[in-house]
Structure 1
Amino acid sequence: MIHDILKSKSTKLFLGISAFFVANALIAECIGGKIFSLEKFFGWKPADIRLFGQSGLSFNLTCGVLLWPLEFIITDIVNEYYGPKAVRRISYTAVVLISYAFIMFYAAMQIPPADFWIGSKAEQGVPNMQYAFSGIFGQGMWIIFGSLTAFLVSQIIDVTVFHRIKKATGEKWIWLRATGSTLVSQLVDSFIVLFIAFKIGNGWSWQLVLAICLVNYCYKFSMAIILTPLIYFIEKRIERYLGKETATKMKRAAMGLDRE
């Protein structure tokens, strides 16, 4: 039986997509502690945006946003071929494993460091490796909780919007259901993580939360549009791998049409 399962192309595809989805989410959480300037990356001057009475805003983003757009693309692909139950399954799996990873990070920070290791990078400008290690992996609990909550809620919303659009449009206009669901879920994701991590956790004002939320969403909105062709590329590769007939059957099953 196990050999039959492993020979199934659809099963192998799902396992591969799931592994990449979880790994991508975990990496995004790990590198999310670094903030970068999008303007500096392109050699531009700071945007100096003013919103809700907050001035001097610019595109200072967490490095996690470099990878999160891929998560929503993967979500749409899984939704298209495997259905909402599969999306929820990989989303719950990702949350559990990310939570486990942060528990292990915390445990590693508490283990007494070797004396020689503490100053081992002093010549490279890192006088205390224990502080550096804790600074990188020791994200605040509010940030972790906010990020995981935002991820899970936005995934559920993405699934719901995706299927409502698909029921209205059928098999055509994959760009509409993929991009539309991402635009809605990314807005929710941006707001929830800021609300929990910084409104509740750090006492930010509503004006500051909303202003930064909209700035971050502008980036996510742009990336959702830019990455739309990637949906078509992946879909073609999957249909080539599975075969047109199998891919069509999977899409119908994902929508529950094979039971009608």
Structure 2
Amino acid sequence: MTRTHLPGILAMAAIVVASNILVQFLFGQWLTWGAFTYPLAFLVTDVMNRVYGVAAARRVVFVGFLVGVGCSLIGTQIMGEFGPLVTLRIAIGSGVAFLTAQLLDVAIFDRMRGGVWWKAPIVSTIIGSSVDTALFFTIAFSASLSFIEPSNDVSWAGEILPLLGFGPAVPLWVSLAVADWGVKLSLAILALVPFRILTKRLLAHVA
């Protein structure tokens, strides 16, 4: 770990902490404010990968994972209206989803780094984001995984409602996942602009 990696480490830590705080505040019916900050973690990972290489990107991911674990441990000790702010299923889902998706992003980006500049970040982020959403919402809310934390009643997430209010009937958590995934995909495209700017500037300094 070198001092040149410190900005990426601090950025990842800040995003993880901010997302853990903002996820408590709703944005409309299907999202929380955390849905708009968390996808920036993929931007940080991809910038680190492009500029400093795969090893540096993985280090930043592991730091983000440890910060997320710390946030989850704190959240389990804070009681909300319906119990702890962070349940065991949410903690496991968050940790597994983050580490799996980010490391997948790093690996895919590394395999594609020799192509045109935009392919590696957009493909790795879309695949990583999709895996992240699928893992988190399934682990945290799917009725089929209730054995993970039998005492945690997440039946509210299984209420059958129209998808996003107008589609086919699905469990509520599926609508939440689809909305979250849509934000991630949109931000993956928008993030190409700061990715290009940041990598060009940082590579100029490294060179």
User: Which bin holds the TM-score, normalised by the shorter protein?
Assistant: 0.7 to 0.9
Q: Shift of residue 180 of structure 1?
A: 1.1
Matched-pair identity in %: 23
Corresponding residue number in structure 1 for 2:92: 145
Query: Given that residues 50 and 113 in structure 2 are in contact (C-alpha distance below 8 angstroms), is that contact kept between their aligned partners in structure 1?
Result: no
1:104 and 1:195 mapped to 2: Cα distance? 23
- Could you tell me how far 1:160 is from its partner in structure 2? 1.5
User: 1:198 Cα shift?
Assistant: 0.4
Is 1:185 paired with 2:128?
Answer: yes
How big is the shift at 1:66?
A: 1.4
Superposed CA deviations along residues 189-230 of structure 1, whole A, max 9, x for unmatched, are 111111000002436389435444333222211111122111
Structure 1, unaligned runs of 5 or more: 6-10, 38-58, 110-130, 247-260
Q: Distance in 2 between matches of 1:104 and 1:217?
A: 26
Q: CA deviation at 1:157?
A: 1.1
Q: Contact 2:51–2:199 at 8 Å: present in 1 too?
A: no
Q: Per-residue CA shift, 1:10-42, capped at 9, x if unaligned? A: x333112111111211221122122211xxxxx
Pick one of 183, 192, 197 that aligns with 1:233: 197
Secondary structure of residue in 2 paired with 1:174: coil
Residues 119-138 of structure 1 aligned to structure 2 (within 5 Å): 138=85
Q: Match for residue 61 of structure 1?
A: 31
Alpha carbons 2:93, 2:135 under 8 Å: kept: yes
Q: C-alpha displacement at 1:91, in angstroms? A: 1.6
Looking at structure 2, the residues matched to 77 and 89 of structure 1 have their Cα atoms a distance apart, in angstroms, of 13
The separation in 2 between residues aligned to 1:106 and 1:144, in whole angstroms, is: 9
Kept in 1, the 8 Å contact 2:36–2:183? The answer is: no
Distance across 1 between alignment mates of 2:23 and 2:9:
21
The root-mean-square deviation of aligned C-alpha atoms, in Å, is 2.6
Could you list the structure 1 runs, at least 4 aligned residues long, displaced by more than 4 angstroms after superposition.
134-137
Gap regions ≥5 residues in structure 2: 147-153, 161-168
Q: Which has the larger radius of gyration?
A: 1
| 2:100/2:132 contact within 8 Å kept | yes
Distance apart, 1:177 and its partner CA: 0.8
Q: TM (normalized to structure 2)?
A: 0.78
Per the normalisation by structure 1, the TM-score is 0.63
Aligned to 1:98: 68
Contact preservation (8 Å) 1:33, 1:139: no
